[in-house]
Structure formats: C-alpha cells, structure tokens
Structure 1
C-alpha cells in the first residue's frame, strides 16, 4: 500500500542553539557512551527502538556492514539506561567539514513518555558538539543536523524543536508502507 511520507531536516549551527531538557526526576537514568564497538549491541538498539516505527533501512545489513558502521572513526552511540536497563540511544555519524548527523535517536517503547527522551537528546546533542574532543583527528563541530519523518513517534518533532533545532528542509514523497516487525517477528502482533 502506498503512503505519503513527509521528511523534515533540522539543524543547529552553534552549540549555543541547544536548549537543554531537565533530567528526569531521581537518579535512576544515566547516559553512557558504548565505547566498545559492537555490531550486536548496535543492531539490538536499532531494532528495539525502531521496530514499531518503521525503521527498516538497516535490517538487511550483514554483520560486516554493521561492524563498519560502529567502527568508523568518530561514530558514537550514547545509550540511556534506566536502573541498568537500556532505554534508548543516540547514534552520531561524523561527516566532513565539522558536520555531525544524529543518524538515529529514540526510546524503546516501554520507556517512552517518562521524560527520558528530552534528556537523552540533550546529552546526544552535547556529545555531537564536543565530538572533536574525543576524536583529535576531527575538526571541531560546526553543525549538528538530523531528520525525522511522519512515521516517527508523535513527540519527536516537538522534542527536536524544544532542544533548539531549526527546520531547513521538508520533502514529501509517495512510498510503499513497510511492515514493522518489531524487535523480533510477532513482537507487536
């Protein structure tokens, strides 16, 4: 079945553009970088977060392709944990000329609506802006950007705008509706 898909591209052009969200109450949520490149962990996060919102562009990738993604110099995955359990993640994709794309961001469905998303996005954006501090061969970040679409969660766009991102492009296309298998077949059946 054909659907209309709208994709919005947003950016920040200065670290001062970031408008931080308050951390969730209590000390049960922490955010840490996955410092050991792990294709298995990256794929777990991707399917757990995106399984119900049509993330399927990486499902066909081989182990070697996942490995190439997570081992790229400057590529980083930052994970939110609630009481030791992965709750969501931000994946940073280093690009040329001081540009960093937030290539993936989201929460596992059970953790949505608990004030974790704004905090995780805040920390992910901070880490995008200071990426060159951890990767000395990179030039300092001068632009952080991302895209979201009409298939993403209902609060995604609002979260990006609240964090200080500005819209710079919108595209609309007709595409085939994808099956959303969830993190494993039958998970949302």
Structure 2
C-alpha cells in the first residue's frame, strides 16, 4: 500500500464511479413526496438548494464554478433538473445530464438533511431512473465519494449500479476556505 500525506487545510477523498447498463425493473414505491420538472432554474435559487442539500457532504463543485459557466449548464437542453417536494416545501433535487449520446449521468441526487434516512431514497431513485432510461439510452451512471453519506455507495449498489472505477484526490477544505461552517461534514477530518 502506498500512503500519501494529506496537506494541512485539505481533504482527501475517494471517488467511486458506478454504472447501470440496462434499465432495471422498478418496483412501485409510495411516498409522500412528489417530483416536478424545474425548467430554467435561477442560478441563485439553484445554488441555495445545492448548498442546502450538499452542505453536510461538502458538495462544492457548483459553488466554485464561474456563474456564467454554471448558468450555461443549467440552460443546456441536455440538462434536466427535477425538484423533490413535500407538500409546498422543496426538500431535494435530481440533475440529469444527457450531453453524451446514449448516456445519462445522474449528476446530482439528494435530499435536505432532515429527509435523509427516512426511506425516501428508494422512491426518489425509482423516479429518477424512469426519467433517465428513455429511448436511445444504454448507460446510466453516477459517482459518489467518501465525503458523501456512508449509506450512499451501498444504496447505489442496492439499486443496481455497479462500480466501474475509482479515483483518489485531495482538495482545499471548503470549511477552512469559508464556503461552509466548520461543523459541516463532521464525518470528514478537519486538518487545520
């Protein structure tokens, strides 16, 4: 085994890439939640929801992105974003990326912290996979990492995704950079 020191002020992560090469048979699941398409989301509203869902897991990719670049992604006809609602409250979102012919990447998939661990993920994934597996799609894929919920990787595998690769990396700790409070991501060591 080769060990590499993580520099102070940084976070190490293992990214796991998973794929599904045929549409699964989806069980009908019930939920008090609903999913609605979110056409042309406002960048500020999108970032507020991204932060609300992703802060516990230190999601930073979209927070670091140039505003014009993010807006271009959100306006792409190949980007589809759905809101997850509980009554009138928005409690999560899913973002699908159809830029590559024959493929759908589940770019983001998540619920706000107080909705996690309550069994809503099965319903949500079922809805997302129904949207992803459309005519002409022969691969659906996503990635997760060690900064995500410890339940994420087993959940994706249980829903039919298979691992096809892993990467190891480090990044500046977003808590020390002021993007999140130091209390965010308590499962990730803070090396200040």
Question: Which secondary structure state, in structure 1, belongs to the residue aligned with residue 160 of structure 2?
Answer: coil
Structure 1 position 172, deviation (Å): 2.4
Measured against aligned partners, the alpha-carbon deviations of 1:105-146 in whole angstroms (never above 9, x if no partner) come to 11111211121122112211211112x5xxxxxxx1111100
**Which one of the candidate residues 42, 60, 66 is aligned to 2:64?**
60
Contact 1:181 1:187 in 2 (8 A): no
Residue 33 of structure 2 corresponds to residue 29 of structure 1: yes
Q: Does 1:151 align with 2:151?
A: no
TM-score by length of 1: 0.81
How far did residue 18 of structure 1 move? 5.2
1:6 paired residue among 14, 17, 20 = 14
Q: CA RMSD of the aligned region, Å?
A: 2.5
Write the mapping of 1:34-183 to structure 2, written as runs, cut at 5 A: 34-130=38-134, 140-179=136-175
Cα distance change on mapping 1:21 and 1:171 into 2, 3 Å:
farther
Question: What is the distance in 2 between the residues matched to 1:79 and 1:93?
Answer: 15
Larger Rg: 2
Question: Which segment drifts farther, 143-152 or 108-117?
Answer: 108-117
TM-superposed deviation, 1:55: 0.8
Change in Cα spacing, 1:160 to 1:19, as seen in structure 2 (3 Å) is farther
2:30 and 2:155 mapped to 1: Cα distance? 14
| 2-structure distance, mates of 1:123, 1:8 | 23
**Structure 2: which 5+ residue stretches go unaligned?**
1-7, 185-192
Number of corresponding residues: 176
Q: In structure 2, what is the Cα distance between the partners aligned to 1:54 and 1:62?
A: 18
**SS of the residue aligned with 1:52?**
helix
CA gap 1:69/1:20 in 2 versus in 1, 3 angstroms: farther
Please list every run of 5 or more consecutive structure 1 residues that lacks an aligned counterpart in the other structure: 133-139
